[in-house]
Amino acid sequence: MPNIGELGKLEYIGGNLSIENLQNVKSPADALDARLKDKKHLEDLTLDYLDNTSSNISKSDQITVLKSLKPHTNLKSLRINKYGGKSFPDWITHHSFSKIESIYLYDCKYCHILPSFGQLHALESLYIIGFHGIASVGKEFYGSYSSTFKPFEALKVLRFEDMPDWENWLCFDSENEGEAFPHLAELYIVNCPKLTGGLPIHLPSLARLKIVECSQLEASLPRSPTLCQLKLTNFNEVLLNELPSRLLQKVVLEGCAVLRSLSEGMMDSSSPLQELEIYGCSSLMLLFEDGLSSTLETLKISNCAPANLIAEINIITVKGCENLESLTYSEQHETDSAASTIRIQKCPNFVSFSDEGLRAQNLKTFEINGCGSLRSLPDKMHLLLPSLESLFISMCPMLQSFGEGGLSTNLKSISILDCDKLVASRTTWGLQKLLSLQEFYIHGKCKDVESFPEPALLPMTITSLTISGFSNMTSLDNLGLQHFTSLKTMRIYDCPNLKFLPKDGFHASISSLDCSPVNRPHVPFSKIDEVFVKIATPPQSLVQGMRIVRFLGIQNIEIEMDSKIVIEWMKKKRCGLWYLEDYWEELMQLCEGLNYIFGHVYRQCNSLADSLARLGASGLNQTWNDSSDLPPVIRGILRLDNSGLLSLRPMEISHLRTCLDGV
């Protein structure tokens, strides 16, 4: 088995180095033999213990081992995982490390004091995650004070996460507090349930603040003239008392059961607020009193009980509001809504719209899903929604009509899913007058659908027709199809008793016909394969796919992908990369309540992709202009993939990685 001391022979090793299974190192002398302090070409170092509960050496000796692994001062990035010592050696924050830009410390749960990271003058990113032994962050975190010293003078990103016993953050110095963190742009405090106060107040460059699962925190939020994004999850409403609302552009509030209304400044007409998302604030009744920011473009509400809708918003999403019974405009907002998209989802007690209808001259997309009590769409949509192009209605079993006056003549797409009472009244729809309609999708279990589409039900402009789920349908209506002279695509799914297609055939315009009258449940599994989604990363492609799943109302999902890394993240429900968190949070929301399973599929160059992904995640930024410039290990992976030998495909090869199994 290899010994860590053998690294000492690799005099010119450089770039990225990852050393795993350090818990198996038998003595500090072995670590010293690695001579990391002499490797001046090394830029990125990962020290991974993998298991901090079963080390072969005592916790007191672990610090001696780590002390012996001091790297050269040219180091730019340092990552330490699952270190079991109670403190860190002095070299980790020594001023001689003048080039270090990034430090990531993960799951060092026995450490009870933080090093003086503030005295690292080039440090830009600092992540402290899983430190269960920390109860207080004090002056030692900043370093010794002098008139020329500014703690964390280059730091841009700071993240504390999973620190269950952390109670206080003691600021740098009451008189000189503004000297610390002069360039901090992003601050994240996640899952620190005992933290009560002491946040830095003066952060002049702060642009993004996220506080998640810190329910005891009552301190004032940091003040910054540049703060534009704020997210609070499971928070104490006291935090909103001094909210710097007149600067914010995006606000996400989640999980505050006692919150009843938003601050006046947040909803003031002079506020620059553009996006507002509110989730799980069950007592919220009022969104505004005296006005609304004219810049607000997107509003998302889930599991709340708002009493009114807003007129000036571009995108409105109302989801999971169990107490919502109707949507009305306040008396102060009598003008048309500026919304281009309105979505109402999973509001089981939502019964009706305003008697005056829904006035939205610019509305293009209207979606209603899972509103089991809704009986009618808004009246006069042909007049009040003249720009409407897409209408999607799903799982509204009590819905009986499109409302008085009918639909907008500019509609291009209509989807009706699981609205059997509405389908039963289809002869009153009047859709044949909608000469802009091109796409029509209908799914349901209405028993009286035996032949479809009936004559004059749909306009002759239809180019795409999808019929699904009607168990009693035995034939396609020949007369109904004859006048579809523009029909190009026709799909028929899950109509098990369909026996007769038009005896005269289909119109010559049809270029695609998919007919699957197989007796099987409605879409039991939908396979989302990321190869069909041209997005940069698997989490992003998953989000795109799951949006489609939600749109179609599918409940059971089988997801196949070639990334074992992302599959592992999904199983643990935890993202491994901080910069993908926005996608990850949306993905977790989209997956909520669904039944999903994962499968791994092999693709050519899969090992190469995983290796390159790890390099990218570690911060490597390098360009190879020719295949001959590739590192030997990468060239070897390519040869294995191209060989097609199945026995070689499962091999996991990492770039410049030393594994110390069993040492």
Lowest mean pLDDT among 4-8, 198-202, 485-489, 595-599: 595-599
Residue 390, C-beta contacts closer than 8 angstroms, at least 6 positions apart: 364, 365, 366, 411, 412, 413, 414
Q: Is residue 45 part of a domain?
A: no
What mean pLDDT do residues 7-19 have? 86
Q: Is residue 477 part of a domain?
A: no
Q: Is the pLDDT of residue 191 over 70?
A: yes
Helical spans, DSSP H, in 266-417: 381-384
Which pLDDT score, from 0 to 100, does residue 620 have? 59
Measured CA distances, 46 to 81, 210, 659 (Å):
8, 27, 12
Q: Is residue 318 part of a domain?
A: yes
Lowest mean pLDDT among 337-346, 391-400, 625-634: 625-634
Which pLDDT score, from 0 to 100, does residue 285 have? 62
Which pLDDT score, from 0 to 100, does residue 236 have? 83
Q: Is the pLDDT of residue 367 over 90?
A: yes
Q: Is the pLDDT of residue 537 over 80?
A: no
Q: Is the pLDDT of residue 183 over 90?
A: yes
Tokens encoding 228: 């534009």
Number of domains in the chain: 1
Positive or negative torsion for Cα 53, 55, 56, 58: negative
Q: Is the pLDDT of residue 490 over 50?
A: yes
Q: Is residue 630 part of a domain?
A: no
The closest of 433, 478, 480, 428 to 459, measured between CA atoms, is 433
Q: Is the pLDDT of residue 385 over 50?
A: yes
Q: Is residue 421 part of a domain?
A: yes
Q: Is residue 386 part of a domain?
A: yes
What mean pLDDT do residues 113-118 have? 94
- Dump pLDDT digits (tens) for 42-81: 999 999 987 666 555 666 678 888 999 999 999 999 999 9
Distance from C-alpha of 185 to C-alpha of 198, rounded to nearest angstrom: 18
Q: Is residue 418 part of a domain?
A: yes
Looking from the CA of 375 toward its CB, the CA atoms found within 13 Å total: 5
Q: Is residue 577 part of a domain?
A: no
Region of residue 452 (left: phi > 0; alpha: psi -120 to 50; beta: else)? beta
Q: Is the pLDDT of residue 186 over 60?
A: yes
Mean pLDDT over each residue of the chain, to the nearest integer: 78
Which pLDDT score, from 0 to 100, does residue 157 have? 96
pLDDT band, residue 497 (cuts 50/70/90): confident
Question: Could you give the percent of the chain with pLDDT greater than 70?
Answer: 72
Region of residue 21 (left: phi > 0; alpha: psi -120 to 50; beta: else)? left
What mean pLDDT do residues 168-195 have? 83
What mean pLDDT do residues 154-171 have? 93
Ordered DSSP codes for 540-575: HHHHHHHHHHHHHT--EEEEEES-HHHHHHHHHT--
- Dump pLDDT digits (tens) for 245-254: 667 888 888 8
Give me the domain span that covers residue 422: 249-437
Q: Is the pLDDT of residue 517 over 50?
A: no
